[in-house]
Amino acid sequence: MPGWTQILVVIVLVFLLFGRGKIADVMGDFAKGIKSFKKGMADEDTSEDDAKTIDHDTVSEKVAKTSETASKSTK
């Protein structure tokens, strides 16, 4: 397990290599990616909920039509 001094050395090296502006850009892009992912997951959940919702009137109409068709075909 790395100690605090090792973590601090790594952070300083990262700042020296990439600079403050580059790190800020990367973190901003990372945040945008997380927001986009969360939005996509919320949209997927909404579409699944819509698919699971049953329109009872439409189902009743389809059952009635199927019953009429079945009774006509047996006559």
pLDDT digits (tens, 9 = 90+) for 7-65: 999 988 888 888 878 888 888 999 999 999 999 888 877 666 655 555 556 666 766 76
pLDDT value of position 36: 92
CA distance 57 to 53: 12
Q: Kindly tell me the sign of the dihedral angle through the C-alpha atoms of 50, 52, 56, 62.
A: positive
pLDDT value of position 51: 57
pTM of the model: 0.42
Length of the chain: 75
pLDDT value of position 21: 82
CA distance 44 to 36: 12
CA distance 62 to 72: 15
pLDDT value of position 44: 75
